[in-house]
A and B are shown apart, each in its own frame.
Chain A
Amino acid sequence: MAVKAELEIIDQPCLSGIDFKMAKGDFLAVVG
């Protein structure tokens, strides 16, 4: 069985405290 890809970033000062959890198929645009 394939391992589910995930990305989870919680409470990081460099991201101004914005938490996010992403799974396969998710798209996030960071516009600065």
Chain B
Amino acid sequence: MEETNLVKGTRKINGSIAYVEQEPFIFSGTVKKNILFGLPYDKERFERAVRAAELVRDISIFGKGVETTIGERGINVSGGQKSRISLARAVYSDADIILLDDPLSAVDPEVANKLFRNCIRTVLKDKIVILVTH
């Protein structure tokens, strides 16, 4: 958002930004650390983010729950799981502006519907949300 030089026009950004990439960045570490992304842990906020991103079932299947290591030195997670971890990261960040680059493309239609209704249009209803899709 502020990484390109303006050639014309204006751009005013008042607030913090969270960005969910089309190809989510997952580092080698626990599910928990990937969602917190450097922020301090708050149980209630964390559980809300996990629920919003439809990750409860996935985490229950992982051997060590949220302490399961994923990424290069851990277990492989699917594209849909990566996308939802990235979405949970954005929800947890509590940023004012949420940029979503096609986060629903990697998940099946049923999950996409849940994410759109329960997360994007409900949990994030008080945010400024831009959803890019095709």
Which A residues lie at the B interface, using CB under 8 A? Answer: 3-13, 22-32
User: Which of B6-14, B23-31, B38-46, B61-69 makes up part of the contact surface?
Assistant: B6-14
- List of 7 A-B pairs having minimum Cβ-Cβ separation, nearest first: A11-B9, A5-B15, A5-B96, A8-B12, A32-B134, A6-B14, A10-B10
* B residues near A13, Cβ cutoff 8 Å: 7-9
**Across the interface, do A6 and B12 meet the contact criterion of CB distance under 8 Å?**
yes
* A residues near B8, Cβ cutoff 8 Å: 11-13
Nearest CB of A to B125, in Å: 6
Tell me, in angstroms, the Cα distance from A3 to B12 when the chains sit together. Answer: 14
Knowing A12-B9, A27-B121, the reply to whether A3 touches B14 (Cβ < 8 A) is yes
